[in-house]
Amino acid sequence: MNGPEPSVDASDQFRAKRVDDAFSDYVRRRRSGEQIGVREFAAANADLMPELGIRLRHLVTSLKKTVSTQSDAGTVSAPARDKAGNGEKDSLTSAIRSAYSEDRKHPDRIGHYKIIRPIAQGGMGIVFLAEQESPVRRKVALKLIRGGLNSREIIARFEIERQALAMMDHPAIAKVLDAGQTEAGDPYFVMEFVDGERITSYLDSRHADVRQRLEVFIKVCNAVQHAHQKGIIHRDIKPSNVMVSSRDGKPSPIVIDFGLAKALNQRLTDESISTATGQVVGTPEYMSPEQIGGQFTDTRTDVYALGLLLYELLTGVLPYDRELVRRSTLSQAQRTICEVEAPKPSQRLSGLGHKASEAATNRGTNVKLLSKQVRGDLDWIAMKALEKTPSRRYATAAALCEDVIHFLKYEPVLAGPPGTSYRFKKFVRRNRAGVTAAGLIAAVLIVGGMVVSAAVSKAARNERARLSESSEKLAAY
């Protein structure tokens, strides 16, 4: 891999990011009702000890205190209620809030907003579900810097996210509604609350087919293109940062969390801040080669991430083992992402075994038909977006989007081979009715021509026979 070796600080940041992601994953799975034990989860992430263990122990301690308090107050009538139903969710929510606070209690209200519960945690901030009480009453998402993370650089990054969101106006990007500071001086900003699911969960639970998934993906591409036109690179596009809800009976995606956003040609804050060469920022398994290598990033970095998202929407998995990258050291993850060639989506499906059946079921079909749908054009589109060299990828998110639209319209895709045979097959598929009619007309003309030709040939033979007979009579005379 070309370029300078990442610094020790980069390795530390990479590990801290993995610990954050693992803890968030545990919280998400518990909140969704999955009965996963702390010891079991810790054993599966042994390489992240002791940091992850400390976070998990804090969570367990907070949960026990919450359950005990609720029981004493009469809000939890029996242990069974805490293990199933709202008791578990309420207790877990309170415990998570305590664990997220990292020994620092957050106020029950901030400005006009009443804090309801935490809903997400990022590397530098906590997102709460809150209720705005004036001048209008509505639910919102309030993002606050985590306790103790009020360094100059963190505050600058927080301000960059706030300004980046404020610059954009797109139906598929979360809107900033308000901003301010707490009484303690910590900055926060308020966004519209997206009551949805991550894009993969939403589509899987509804058994969305390939076409439906691509239609949602197009909306995501359009949102990312809008950000690029505003001079903003997201740098952390992944399923958990694309939330989908139903509006008028149709899936409506919203791109969230611009916490790692980078401005291309402008400054979004008075503070001077930049990502130094060798510094790694992002989610490891969704990073592009240049991103995980600490190299220069531009809009094509987001195109790569969109390629990974497309790959996962088609197959249910990433091109490589997700857990392997998560548990890898920085250098190991770099080798996987920068050097190992990704298989085509259709090839990846063929090697999934029983997981392929699950992926097909989630897409409302069977493995054979799913492989057939993905093979060819969609293989080419995904692989062009996932080129390891940025200059070989789609130049923009819009170009990737256009190729997906070409596919849906049965038109030739730019990522496909430009052979005459390929283009002719696309023309036939796109104009099936017209081609069929033209074929019938041609067949009629051919058959008609053959009939006329046969009649003419017969007449000619008859004429020759008559002339021959006449010549013989004349000769005899």
Residue 37: exposure state from Cβ atoms within 10 A (0-12, 13-18, ≥19): exposed
Count other C-beta atoms under 10 Å from residue 4's C-beta: 10
Residue 423: exposure state from Cβ atoms within 10 A (0-12, 13-18, ≥19): middle
Reference 267, options 151, 122, 156; nearest CA is: 156
CB distance 254 to 194 below 8 Å: yes
Among 20, 236, 379, 403, the active-site one is 236
Q: In sequence order, what are the residues at sequence separation of 6 or more whose Cβ sits closer than 8 angstroms to the Cβ of residue 441?
A: none
Phi, psi of 352 (to 5 degrees): -85, -15
Q: Dihedral, CA atoms, 160, 161, 162, 163, nearest 10 degrees?
A: 50
302 is catalytic: no
Reference 18, options 53, 42, 60, 48; nearest CA is: 48
CB distance 296 to 4 below 8 Å: no
Q: Per DSSP, what are the bridge partners of residue 143?
A: 127, 189
Separation of alpha carbons 371 and 350, rounded Å: 8
Distances from the Cα of 14 to the Cα of 19, 284, 287, 292, 331, angstroms: 9, 8, 12, 9, 10
Handedness of CA 70, 75, 77, 83 (dihedral sign): negative
Q: Which two tokens stand for residue 164?
A: 């980046």
Active-site annotation, residues:
236
